Amino acid sequence: MGDTVELSTLLVVDGEAVTSDPWVLAGIKVQAEVVDHHKGQKIDILRYKNKTGYRRRQGHRQQYTAIKVTAIPAAAK
């Protein structure tokens, strides 16, 4: 936690202006800070085949990372 991350930009919305041109956004990297790591809700996976005695139970919890965006540089026009 507390690490900084650089993310590539896909879309910038600045008031009424929307920029999605990949050539304009190529040099823009969004700065973010890692706030939290946690596990999601448990998902139960059940497999069953009729009349054969086949049953399998499996669980899964997805890992999630919460980030806070600290800086978005302006797009070059």
In-domain check, residue 76: no
In-domain check, residue 27: yes
The total number of structural domains that make up the chain:
1
Q: Could you read off the pLDDT of 48-60 as tens digits, one per residue?
A: 999 999 999 999 9
* pLDDT in the model for residue 27: 80
* pLDDT in the model for residue 13: 80
In-domain check, residue 77: no
In-domain check, residue 12: yes
Residues of the chain with pLDDT under 70: 75-77
* pLDDT in the model for residue 10: 81
24: exposed, middle or buried (Cβ count in 10 Å: 0-12, 13-18, 19+): middle
Model-level pTM greater than 0.85?
Answer: no
Q: Which two tokens stand for residue 44?
A: 């139960």
Cα angle 58, 62, 67; round to 5: 175
